[in-house]
Structure 1
Amino acid sequence: MNALAIVVPKTETEEKLDALDAEGVYDTARKVREHDAERVELPVLAEPRATTFDALVEQDDPEIRAAGLDDYLRERGWDGEEIERAPSSWALIGDVVLVAFPDALGADERASVGEALLDLHGEADTVLAREGVAGEAREPDVTVVAGSGDTETIHTEHGTRYALDLADVLFAPGNQAERVRMGEVVSADERVLDMFAGIGYFALPMARAGASVVAVERNPAAFRYLAENAQLNGVADRVECVLGDCREYDATESFDRVVMGYYDSLGGYGTSDTEDVRSDYLAAAFDALDGTGTLHVHTTCPEARFPARSDARLRAAADEHGVRVASVDARVVKSHSEGVVHGVLDAVIGDG
């Protein structure tokens, strides 16, 4: 195979790549690699005629690379500066690519990135711009930027299948490890209440592990997928789907474990300590445990104050309701925003 490369100063890498691309001799199938402390080797298809360089070498062991988004954008005429403004991360959910675009990109640039992402992910057929979420129901705001526009898909994660419509319900890719963990911490003989079930984010892994789960969801769109997903994963006999407000669920017996995935239960993530804690939700959780069991409370908190502030808020709410907190373990799920984390508290209530 061709293994020619030009040697150029590291400080001129982007400039030379743009020049090689314009000349049509940049070899995107191979990696740029270090030549020495000051220079790099840029792979070329033939000796450049218009681009200057320090030396032309033939690599003994060229490094082949898979094409990335920047390669596909270069094919569309993007230069190095424009590529710097392109999104650096995205999520493939089923056959839909979900992207948070920088504000600096206009509609035409978003469409170009979308088409490039479809080339990069051959199995995808729609690219969505993630604009945000709204309200306690966490309803997504998305825009189709490329592809067929079909926002309904089935996403598989560690064996759990999630059917959903990304235009109607939220799916947080960054919560994957936590979804998997919930299927690992639960025991097969446990009775679990998932107070904010959504499409079954936590309920499905727990049910697949053998637990009996009551999954409460008040958003009708999410509830429809919750019921469908229980069937899809073969756990309909272990998941009781309840449409309604979890605070109004009338339990006939106590639960061993309660999951609170709504992360404003312990108040917002501002710096004030006087923000409202959702004691109504916590009261319902304490009642469901009937004084003993495990409570998983999701929360957002300034990174520098996690988990101390969240722990203190949970314990204060427990004291208010006459509940004993035996222990609390805390973990960061992911970054929520700059300086703010999404965390979860695993609290042992009473004797556990």
Structure 2
Amino acid sequence: MTTEQWGVRIPTKKGEDMRQALLREGILDLTLKVLHDGDNLVFPVFEEREGISRYVFEDQPGRIALPRHELVGGIAIMQENDPAGADSILASRPSLHTVLFPESEISGEYRTREYTVLAGTATTLTEVNEHGHRYKVDLANAYFSARLSTERQRIAEKTGNNECVLDMFTGVGPFAIALASRAAFIVAADLNPRAVLLLIENIRKNKAGNILPVLADARRLRRILPWQFDRIIMNLPLAGTDFLPDAFPLIRPGGTIHFYSLVSREGEHIDRIRELGGIEVTERMVRSYSPGQWHAVYDIKV
């Protein structure tokens, strides 16, 4: 039998990296077969993204559909409070040690949320392996998004060897560490003390000696830091617009700001960005977030 579904088309040589990224994000539809299209693969996924299309896939015989979930290291995060489904997810992968259900949205100045343990070990602590890097993550105490794995690689590929980079809302440091092998120097800042402690541990774990961890409110960074930067990452989707006026004085002329935000219409923040000094603005949809809302990134040339 066949099914029409969203599909991500990728060169075959990048297929395994993409498969792993889609598995971590919990959007790879394992009930359907991957399409082989010349030198490309097409992976069936549950949600719409920029640049993807609808394809007809063959059903995967004998594959039992597991409840929707996202993988973060050895932890699975479910979309529904389903203990029986949690047991089936835990049994499906030997690498999993815990299945969680989020009891709240990400909120507060530390960007944290509350979880219930549905199966396995009662912990929110795990280790994530991503594109050759390792991150210690505590989901209840510090922000981390597995869904931005592909974005981290995209920004890393754009980063030049002599660049100075500022990660304004670093969390446990995945953007900063992903860029460390490319950039000359990175300042990774966060307001959450627990996140910064994990960041310091992750810097050591990945031997990223060119990262300076900073515990600070992003609004104070231009008073604290004596530098301007070639590239700034602003990953604070729920409130990032409040900090745009603080980012522009920290970027060098000709530099780039990568600003992430939840939006409900195309071009939602472009006027504000241009008022502040953005001369070239490219808006991309990273992923759908909820009906009528999506996670977007604005690449801003200043």
TM range (shorter): 0.7 to 0.9
Report the AA paired with residue 226 of structure 2. Answer: T
TM-score, normalised with respect to structure 1? 0.65
Indicate whether 1:286 and 2:256 are aligned.
no
Indicate whether 1:295 and 2:257 are aligned.
yes
Indicate whether 1:333 and 2:286 are aligned.
yes
In proportion to residue count, which structure has more strand?
2
Report the AA paired with residue 338 of structure 1. Answer: P
**How far off its partner does 1:223 sit?**
0.9
Write the distance in 1 (CA, Å) between the matches of 2:184 and 2:210. 7
Write the distance in 2 (CA, Å) between the matches of 1:146 and 1:248. 42
Q: Matches of residues 298-313 of structure 1 in structure 2 within 5 Å?
A: 298-302=260-264, 305-306=265-266, 308-313=267-272
Write the distance in 1 (CA, Å) between the matches of 2:220 and 2:258. 19
Match of 2:237 in 1: 263
Indicate whether 1:156 and 2:129 are aligned.
yes
Match of 2:24 in 1: none
Report the AA paired with residue 180 of structure 1. Answer: Q
Write the distance in 1 (CA, Å) between the matches of 2:239 and 2:123. 34
TM-score, normalised with respect to structure 2? 0.75
Indicate whether 1:140 and 2:103 are aligned.
no
Deviations 1:160-214 (A, max 9, x none): 2111112222322222211221211111210001111111121111113244110
Write the distance in 2 (CA, Å) between the matches of 1:167 and 1:173. 14
Report the AA paired with residue 102 of structure 2. Answer: R
Report the AA paired with residue 278 of structure 2. Answer: V
Aligned 8 A contact 1:95 1:123 in 2: yes
Write the distance in 2 (CA, Å) between the matches of 1:185 and 1:150. 36
Q: Matches of residues 26-65 of structure 1 in structure 2 within 5 Å?
A: 65=61
Write the distance in 1 (CA, Å) between the matches of 2:60 and 2:157. 38
SS in 1 for 2:229: coil
Indicate whether 1:91 and 2:44 are aligned.
no
Q: Matches of residues 198-277 of structure 1 in structure 2 within 5 Å?
A: 198-235=171-208, 237-249=209-221, 250-265=224-239, 277=241
Deviations 1:100-134 (A, max 9, x none): 21xxx5xxxx2211111111112111111123211
The alpha-carbon distance between structure 1 residues 119 and 255, as it changes in their structure 2 partners (threshold 3 A), is: same
The alpha-carbon distance between structure 1 residues 326 and 222, as it changes in their structure 2 partners (threshold 3 A), is: same
Report the AA paired with residue 282 of structure 1. Answer: L
User: What is the root-mean-square deviation in Å for CA atoms of aligned residues?
Assistant: 2.1
Match of 1:74 in 2: none
Match of 2:41 in 1: none
Structure 2 unaligned segments of length 5 or more: list them: 1-30, 33-58
Identity %: 32
**How far off its partner does 1:290 sit?**
4.3
Between Structure 1 and Structure 2, how many residues are aligned?
243
Write the distance in 1 (CA, Å) between the matches of 2:183 and 2:230. 14
Larger CA Rg, structure 1 vs 2: 1
Q: Matches of residues 188-199 of structure 1 in structure 2 within 5 Å?
A: 188-199=161-172
Aligned 8 A contact 1:195 1:215 in 2: yes
Write the distance in 1 (CA, Å) between the matches of 2:252 and 2:140. 38
Write the distance in 2 (CA, Å) between the matches of 1:309 and 1:336. 15
Aligned 8 A contact 2:165 2:183 in 1: no
**How far off its partner does 1:145 sit?**
0.6
**How far off its partner does 1:64 sit?**
8.0
Structure 1 segments (4+ residues) deviating >6 Å: none
Match for 2:64 among 64, 68, 85? 68
Q: Matches of residues 311-350 of structure 1 in structure 2 within 5 Å?
A: 311-316=270-275, 318=276, 324-349=277-302
Write the distance in 1 (CA, Å) between the matches of 2:270 and 2:120. 45
